[in-house]
Structure 1
């Protein structure tokens, strides 16, 4: 196919391809996406409902978990409707400003998720290393401050990605975005003008979030494991480790998928395009599916209350 020399100035619409290279299988690809949505909806709604209903779970650890569940549901609501419309109904056009809005919410929710994981690492650190000061440190005011800081960071970092596109990039050599959603670099690569500022900011924002958050989480867990090794009883060590197991699992899953996606997108020039798209969707959609399952299995308090909730729902029609 010959390259077109046409330039699109201030385009009103972009066209999202979905999963380039797998066009013939896109109907089938939509099925696991929809199943993931159902699993995430049921799992995260259950987690949130259990924590909301039970006053004994209104503790920092579970409040952060409820925030994580809410954020995970929002990620699906931002991504999946348009993705399924592309895969199943070939509704590929998206209005330019709507595309930028989706870009903002995708990156803001991803950054906020990372912030919540940092807060949960802090919770584990205080609970294990300073248990006697737990309630004094993690007060409601402190939790509110953490939530506000996480939201502000996510909003500020994510605002400049679409804003710089809106203000700096007016001409595009194509309006076809080789992606299933309006990912920042996928749109920037289409620009005719010099996009180095956009690229640099996107890279700096991702690295700042990943580097700062991974560094803080790593430091927290180094101190946690040092404290655990100093415990005398075996049961105390096992209990302390179990407290953090679910959190560690979600952290490893979230950041490993995000880094794989980032590295493949930046440096995997010989990787098939559909691999980029699948990785980009996986790091956003897989953790919200796995997170409630992990916490329902690993956190006994959540597990007991989930079983009680569904047992009550089964018995209710008989009364």
Structure 2
């Protein structure tokens, strides 16, 4: 191979990072990560299996839950190869194209999950505030359209990101802070290019997706709370709120680390790379891990079906 070709290949790669300062024990650190990925994949697969095989669970609430499980499976599978590759084999190199593809799927699935959480909030709003019209509003065709719209919105917003990134030269340090590729990471390596379009478009994507979804979820729960407080029966009030607790927990679990990571990249200058690394792992690994656990604990039909699966 000529020196020119070798140099070209060398410049066409990024370098992923594990946990800075703990490289000597990456093999040991891989054990909890393996358990997290395994639990996430098995938990979400089990939720999908239960909902698919039990006709009594073919209701809007459980269909949205299956959409969430599919999205969480995608998030786990999109980060698992590079993360475990670093911890097991110290495989840090990743080509530009492979990195952009991984970034596309990570951000696409994140936007879809945000849209699914909004759909689930709408489901709870209709069930509590307008129960008599629940079945007529949330029909199978309407749910399918909501899912398709979530996918199309995600693709339309995220597809320009890798296209914009391919236009730039990366003249600075090509070491990423995470074991996977995120859009925010590329900004520090593009100082030799005009990145204003990337910054503005990235901010627009955040506003048009997660921020908008969160505000609509917040609005739906304000209206739900207003409706619940009008219930004269204390027992009825608690029963209505109990149906939404698991969804509220998952919303907080999804948006809190995602918001924290965005604020760190945009507004907070933190010298320690460990903070970004930990926040990145919490942002992408914890929700897919905890979502099936929370729903199996809080939803009696899911819990009962899981018990029957393992007993029988």
- Normalising by structure 1, we get a TM-score of 0.91
Equivalent residue, structure 2, for 1:190: 189
CA contact (8 A) 1:18 1:86 kept: yes
**Partners of 1:10 and 1:137 in 2: how far apart?**
56
**Deviation at residue 196 of structure 1 after TM alignment:** 1.7
Equivalent residue, structure 2, for 1:172: 171
**Partners of 1:99 and 1:304 in 2: how far apart?**
42
- CA gap 1:10/1:199 in 2 versus in 1, 3 angstroms: farther
Equivalent residue, structure 1, for 2:199: 199
CA contact (8 A) 2:177 2:276 kept: no
5+ residue gaps, structure 2: 1-6
**3-state SS, counterpart of residue 229 of structure 2:** helix
**Partners of 2:27 and 2:10 in 1: how far apart?**
32
Q: Is residue 2:233 matched to residue 1:233?
A: yes
Q: How does 1:63-78 map to 2 (within 5 A)?
A: 63-78=63-78
CA-atom RMSD in angstroms? 1.7
Q: How does 1:18-33 map to 2 (within 5 A)?
A: 18-33=18-33
More divergent stretch after superposition (245-254 vs 183-192): 183-192
Question: Matched residue pairs, number?
Answer: 305
**3-state SS, counterpart of residue 14 of structure 1:** strand
**Partners of 1:177 and 1:215 in 2: how far apart?**
31
Equivalent residue, structure 2, for 1:315: none
**Deviation at residue 109 of structure 1 after TM alignment:** 0.4
**Partners of 1:199 and 1:87 in 2: how far apart?**
32
Post-superposition CA distance 1:197-218 (Å, at most 9, x none): 1122112212332220111001
Q: Is residue 2:295 matched to residue 1:286?
A: no
5+ residue gaps, structure 1: 1-6, 313-319
Equivalent residue, structure 2, for 1:3: none
CA contact (8 A) 2:121 2:217 kept: yes
Equivalent residue, structure 1, for 2:100: 100
**Partners of 2:8 and 2:177 in 1: how far apart?**
16
**Deviation at residue 243 of structure 1 after TM alignment:** 0.7
**3-state SS, counterpart of residue 94 of structure 1:** strand
Q: Is residue 2:146 matched to residue 1:141?
A: no
**Partners of 2:231 and 2:174 in 1: how far apart?**
60
**Deviation at residue 154 of structure 1 after TM alignment:** 0.9
- Normalising by structure 2, we get a TM-score of 0.93
- CA gap 1:235/1:310 in 2 versus in 1, 3 angstroms: same
Q: How does 1:242-261 map to 2 (within 5 A)?
A: 242-261=242-261
Post-superposition CA distance 1:1-34 (Å, at most 9, x none): xxxxxx9899422221223343334333322211
**3-state SS, counterpart of residue 14 of structure 2:** strand
CA contact (8 A) 1:13 1:94 kept: yes
- CA gap 1:176/1:282 in 2 versus in 1, 3 angstroms: same
- CA gap 1:18/1:200 in 2 versus in 1, 3 angstroms: farther
**3-state SS, counterpart of residue 159 of structure 2:** helix
**Partners of 1:111 and 1:33 in 2: how far apart?**
24
**Partners of 2:210 and 2:284 in 1: how far apart?**
15
**3-state SS, counterpart of residue 269 of structure 1:** coil
**Deviation at residue 271 of structure 1 after TM alignment:** 4.5
Q: How does 1:71-90 map to 2 (within 5 A)?
A: 71-90=71-90
CA contact (8 A) 2:99 2:181 kept: yes
